[in-house]
Amino acid sequence: MTKALIVSDNHGDRAILEQLVDRWKEKVDLMVHCGDSEIPSSDSLMQSFVRVAGNNDWHLGYDPNQLVLAGGARFLVTHGHNYGVNSSMTPLMLKGEAVGADVVCFGHTHQLFAAVERGMLMINPGSISLPRGQYVGIGGTFAVVELSLQSFTVDFYDRHSHQQPQLHREFTREEREL
């Protein structure tokens, strides 16, 4: 079993990332930041995360994508703006498929999202600082994902690390076709 915390779009709110690291670093196997941190990659705080450049991070020393192996699972991390996630998941899904991802983590839309497509968990934790959409009333979200050989379990939390039980999701992992 692999457990990952996924966060995105804090837009310069360093304090919230410090809180997440303090509270969660010892409870998860992996911490992922999907971009638009607006914090330089050289900042020691960002070393706690697998991190990528968002459309507001172009000058801060991040790569646009990261592919990382954790607990036998392949995580593709990107911000999403280069894949047109505001209008379609297809380009990002195809990228995930091309690199053999088990989990595709992205941000950019500031709206939480979780679905399984072609055996991959596609997950957007929403924005921790500037949420949009249906769940804006929660006041910022991040996700914790647990992966087993059979399933993905997704829980969303507010910025105070309070679990949002109405957003709990469990997905069966599908076999990939050869």
The pLDDT tens digits of the residues spanning 75-86 come to 999 999 999 999
Cβ-based neighbours of 110, under 8 Å, separated by 6 or more: 9, 126, 127, 130, 131, 132, 133
Domain membership of residue 113 (yes or no) is: yes
- Residue 86 CB: number of other CB atoms within 10 A? 10
Per-residue pLDDT at 69: 96
Sign of the CA dihedral running 144, 20, 11, 97: negative
Domain membership of residue 177 (yes or no) is: no
| Domain region containing 45 | 2-172
pLDDT reading at 42 higher than 90: yes
Q: For residue 175, what pLDDT band results from cuts at 50, 70 and 90?
A: low
CA distances from 174 to 2, 88, 92, 121, 171 (A): 17, 22, 18, 10, 9
The pLDDT tens digits of the residues spanning 86-134 come to 999 999 999 999 999 999 999 999 999 999 998 999 999 999 999 999 9
Domain total in the chain: 1
Mean pLDDT of 3-23: 98
Mean pLDDT of the chain: 95
For residues 1 and 28, the model is more confident at 28
Domain membership of residue 33 (yes or no) is: yes
The pLDDT tens digits of the residues spanning 128-155 come to 999 999 999 999 999 999 999 899 999 9
User: How far is residue 59's CA from residue 56's CA, in Å, rounded to a whole number?
Assistant: 8
Say which CATH number the domain at 75 has.
3.60.21.10
Domain membership of residue 96 (yes or no) is: yes
Domain membership of residue 178 (yes or no) is: no
